[in-house]
Structure 1
Amino acid sequence: MELYFTTCQTPLGEAVLLAGEAGLMGLWLPGQKPDAGLMARAQRRDSAPLLVQGKDWLQRYFCGQRPTPAEIALDPQGSEFRQRVWRRLCRIPYGELTTYGQIAREITRQTGKRMSAQAVGGAVGHNPVSLIIPCHRVVGENHSLVGYNGGVQIKRRLLRYEGVDVDRLTDPKPKRETPAV
């Protein structure tokens, strides 16, 4: 399979896009690390149609035009469980939030297998097509901005772009430092 990548400037900084023959396989924002294995196999091809579509999607998003994941071919690589979670993320409407627990309960109802919010968080955290698969719209049960691969400040900025009242959301609890003995 041939893989292609490009970069593009966003209001957040430089993003990296990766595509294969079937769809966009990766989108990494500043602060997120591209998949080194896939990137090592990819050739830079700024004019590849899927990458051009990805850049157009980003431009429309940052201009407030509300593009949806369904508007672009996606081909994220992951287990069936991760794929299920990523498909669920694609159904979160622009400007709305859900929680890891809500997704876990929904998957439990669908499959009959008990699912934890932590397992969902793991799948969300491995989302390779950041922003288009809107993992930034998932928060903790207590409206905490936990679990964003690009960092809390980027998550907060993305939600602001979408008109979410981020002032009602809390930052994750700071980790306690162990006192020196």
Structure 2
Amino acid sequence: MIYYQWFTSPLGQVLLTSNGQSLTGLHLHGQKYFPNRTEDWQESTLDLFVQVQEQLTEYFAHQRQQFDLPLEPQGTPFQKQVWQLLTEIPFGQTISYGTLAKQTGNPTASRAVGAANGRNPIAIVVPCHRVIAANGALTGYAGGVDRKQWLLRHEQAEVGNLLGSVV
């Protein structure tokens, strides 16, 4: 059984999915690889979905920089390794696909890292938007480059506000 619920965000409608225990998906409406609902899907008001919505609301309101949710993305061992590394990229910062490939232990795997990054089933919470080209270009994002740019500006504005308040 796949449980789901819709959430309205500043980036549009978001589809949340769960296995009943953990978040298995956070998909931006219209994104590449958007899942198709089947007979085994059931709309639900799981407590987990309440937590996810609260934390996303805090994130979008500049009140949260890290998520604290049980996650269970489905993928290959390599994809799961890449997705775990994504969760370690600090808020408001970016890294290149090449740097991420080096972190997997395979420095020549930039394309494989890019493919795994693009298949990340838990957008925003697993911050695949923080990975950019070595030259700084905002290449590829399953949710659209405009949304990637919005997320990066959102986070960098928060970091700028924090730095401004320290001075």
TM-score relative to the length of structure 2:
0.87
CA deviation string 1:108-139 (max 9, x = no partner): 2xxxx554110000000000001100000000
Matched with 1:129 is 122
Q: Is the 8 A contact 1:28 1:128 kept in 2?
A: yes
Is 1:117 the equivalent of 2:114?
no
- CA radius of gyration, larger in: 1
Segments ≥4 residues shifted beyond 3 Å: none
Matched with 1:178 is none
Q: Which amino acid aligns with 1:99?
A: S
Q: Which amino acid aligns with 1:65?
A: Q
Matched with 1:14 is 13
Matched with 1:159 is 152
Unaligned 5+ residue runs, structure 1? 165-181
Aligned ranges 1:25-174 → 2 under 5 Å: 25-32=24-31, 33-36=33-36, 39-40=37-38, 41-45=40-44, 47-69=45-67, 71-108=68-105, 113=106, 115-163=108-156
Q: Is the 8 A contact 2:98 2:107 kept in 1?
A: no
Q: Which amino acid aligns with 1:10?
A: S
- Name the Cα RMSD after superposition: 1.6
Secondary structure of the corresponding residue to residue 162 of structure 1: helix
Q: Tell me the percent identity.
A: 37
Q: Which amino acid aligns with 2:51?
A: Q
Q: Is the 8 A contact 2:25 2:73 kept in 1?
A: yes
Unaligned 5+ residue runs, structure 2? 158-167
- Distance in 2 (CA, whole Å) between partners of 1:84 and 1:30 is 25
Secondary structure of the corresponding residue to residue 124 of structure 1: helix
